Chains A and B, each alone.
Chain A
Amino acid sequence: MTETLFHIWGGFELALTDPLNLVLIVLGTFLGLIVGALPGFSAPMAIVILLPITYNLKLAAIPSLLLMMGVYCGTKLGGSYPAVLLRTPGTPAGACTALDGYPMAQKGLAGKAIGYAIMGSTFGGIFGWCIAVIFVPLLGRIAVNSRPEDIAIIGMLGLVMVSAFVRGNMIRGLMGVFVGLLIGTVGMDANDGAARFTMGFSELTNGVPFAAALVGFFGMAVVLSDIREIGSVSEIVSRKLSLTMPRLGEVKRYWKCMTIGSIFGTLVGAIPGVGAEGSTWVAYATVKNKDRNPDRFGEGAPEGILTPESCNNANCGGTMVPMLTLGIPGDGSTAIMLGALVLYGVNPGVTLMRDQPALVYALLAGLLISTIAMCFIAWFTCPMFIYVLRQDRAWLFPAIIVLAVLGAFSCSNSMYPVYIAFVFGIVGYLFELCGMSVVPIVLGIILGPVIETNARLALVTNSGDWTVFIDAWWRAGMLGIMVILVASNLWKTFKKA
């Protein structure tokens, strides 16, 4: 307990004492708010563009990840601005906020609706942080004693869970996973020196440049998929906005709905691949059904804004638990953050807590600082978003393509990763066009080498005995969960067809 508190203190010290870290968190949060406010833009896209830039600027892992953490946190609230003012959510997770936010804005209370969104997001963010701070050290301590066979099975479980809960059916999710796993095998095998799928290109000996793959899947592919947004300038319900922050009494009055939203957000965030989108609707429905007068919902009820917004931001804390302890990302943004760790030479996974405790606690500190900064930045920059929301995406998409090209180029100061990013951009676009998510592909690329290395190591240390994967109850349990998830999802898919 004392050790954990000491580490938490150390994390804050690291994040707050270096002015650069603090500036980057605040800057990231501000950027996140803007990105979240622009429909069609997403946190993964912003983070993936920042990743090669920060890497090329020779920023260390901690400041770079703190910047990304700020973006991740900020986008969650940013999505509520267009949801309230345009009834077009900036992020999928913000869609639920539009149900009550927009009617409230139509009544001339746009400032109050945004105020509720800020209050809910801040409450949820702090709640999620508390859960993360409690569970990350607990789970981390258990995870650190894991054996190679445990790590391989945890990685497989992560992939199965992502495929099970990702958009579309599980078959599509697993197809994406296998594509990612195959991409992850490209390059020289560390054990026997075989050059796998390099096709004679010496550049591929070190594998597919991960940052280029990310830029392709989350930068170029998203621009190509979102071209439909071009030219659609939405009508803003209120051109003048005076923010009205809720009073303290209202926090007391609405604490129940915010707590319900936060619980759903944190729990769902901790399940890999689910994301915040689904949880906001479930939390909203729960609060609505529990209300004495459910007809108020959809007409501008404050609870209808507070619940999804608290859920949204609590999700950030939830996703940190599997990401920092098991190396399993909860969504696209955390997948890229894990990729950033790989790029910085840090091994994400069960050993992260043991090897890099300073990094883990600095990230947790960054999450709380970003949540608080988000509250103040959103408060003071509110009118600016009216201007941002009125801009046509046509100005931004070409700039994003140039940034993506520069980002991919910076991987190795050569054009080769740019071509790789372009190819993955087209592949990602085709996947998106078919309704398949690219998140499982990225997860396959990250977790594939982890699974392979550890499974092979487990067999070597156990003289090729395969029962090593089921000889402990937790391993058998995890395999059982995988079998049940795959079987039930496939059964559902076949039944539907």
Chain B
Amino acid sequence: MNRDSLEILVSLALIAVGAAAFATIGLSEDSASPFLLAQERALGSLDYATFPRVFACGLMILSAVNVLLLLRKRGKRWQETDTAPARQRRIRLLTMATAVLTFAYIVALAHVNFIVITAAFLFVMFRLYGLKRLQVNAAVAMGGAVLFWVVFVKLSHLAI
């Protein structure tokens, strides 16, 4: 996928976000205080929904304009700059793997001991990033996890 196509997708997603925000803000009225709302409207002020609606409209209009501009200049392929296609593929793979592993780490943190899961996460990440010396990786991962535990759990009293 080239950069323009990705930007078009992101812009379309933002249009959807804007539309959803515009459509759902009215539902918040149930939670508002009717007395305060009536008083506010009587004073000529703007209520809770005005600004979110304006922001949602702004987002939709700008994203739509961005899509139109991108469609007009479409055809100009994504400049791969100085990166070779094989390296580019590897970078994308690493990025996706990093995101997935980070998510897995976050989910696991709630269920597994902090030192164990952090050491495992660091070790897997070092391997993923191509650091080959197994023993050094394991030592740094374990040392790092213990250091984080001392600083954040012991000293800062994080209830993780």
Contacts and interface: CB of A to CB of B under 8 A. Distances in A.
Contacts of A406: 148, 152, 158, 160
A193 B33 contact: yes
Contacts of A401: 98, 102, 105, 121, 125
A58 B56 CA distance: 37
A266 B56 CA distance: 36
A227 B102 contact: no
A425 B45 CA distance: 36
A179 B14 contact: yes
Interface residues of B, number: 68
A419 B28 contact: no
Interface stretch (A95-103, A109-117, A181-189, A247-255): A181-189
A395 B6 CA distance: 30
B55 A181 contact: yes
A410 B151 CA distance: 12
Contacts of A431: 10
Interface range for A: 35 or more
Contact of B58 (A178, A197, A394, A455): A178
Contacts, number: 194
A497 B72 contact: yes
Interface stretch (A167-175, A269-277, A320-328, A374-382): A167-175
Main secondary structure of the interface of B (DSSP, over half): helix
* Highest count of chain B CB atoms <10 Å: which of A171, A194, A196, A433: A194
A4 interface: no
Q: Among the interface residues A185, A195, A392, A426, which one has the most CB atoms of the partner chain B within 10 A?
A: A185
Nearest to B20: A197
Interface string A389-405: 00010110111011101
Interface string B27-64: 01101110011001001111111011001101100110
A460 B45 contact: yes
Given A418-B106, A460-B44, A463-B44, A197 B94 contact: no
Nearest to A457: B45
B125 A197 contact: no
Contacts of A395: 126, 131, 140
A220 interface: yes
Contact of A175 (B49, B66, B98): B66
B6 A192 contact: no
A30 B33 CA distance: 52
Contact of B45 (A175, A392, A448, A459): A459
B43 A464 contact: yes
A469 interface: no
Contact of B48 (A175, A194, A494): A194
A197 B52 contact: yes
B135 interface: no
Given A192-B40, A230-B130, A399 B144 contact: yes
Contacts of B156: 53, 56-57, 410
Contacts of A227: 91, 94-95, 98
Contacts of B21: 182, 197
Given A398-B122, A434-B3, A415 B131 contact: no
A299 interface: no
Contacts of B150: none
A296 B68 CA distance: 47
A184 B61 CA distance: 19
B8 to A, nearest CB: 9
A171 B69 contact: yes
Contact of A193 (B31, B140, B152): B31
Contacts of B118: 402
B86 interface: no
A385 B11 CA distance: 42
Given A171-B66, A192-B36, A415-B106, A398 B126 contact: yes
A220 B98 CA distance: 10
Contacts of A290: none
A223 B29 CA distance: 40
Given A175-B14, A230-B94, A493-B69, A402 B36 contact: no
B46 A455 contact: yes
Contacts of A433: 3, 6
Contacts of A394: 126, 129-131
B129 A174 contact: no
B83 interface: yes
B62 A174 contact: yes
B40 to A, nearest CB: 6
19 contacts: A178-B58, A181-B55, A185-B52, A185-B55, A191-B47, A191-B48, A194-B48, A196-B25, A231-B130, A397-B98, A399-B122, A399-B144, A402-B118, A406-B148, A435-B3, A452-B51, A460-B40, A465-B44, A497-B69
Interface of B: 3, 6-7, 10-11, 14, 17-18, 21, 24-25, 28-29, 31-33, 36-37, 40, 43-49, 51-52, 55-56, 58-59, 62-63, 65-66, 69, 72-73, 83, 91, 94-95, 98-99, 102-103, 105-106, 109-110, 118, 121-122, 125-126, 129-131, 140, 144, 148, 152, 155-156, 158-160
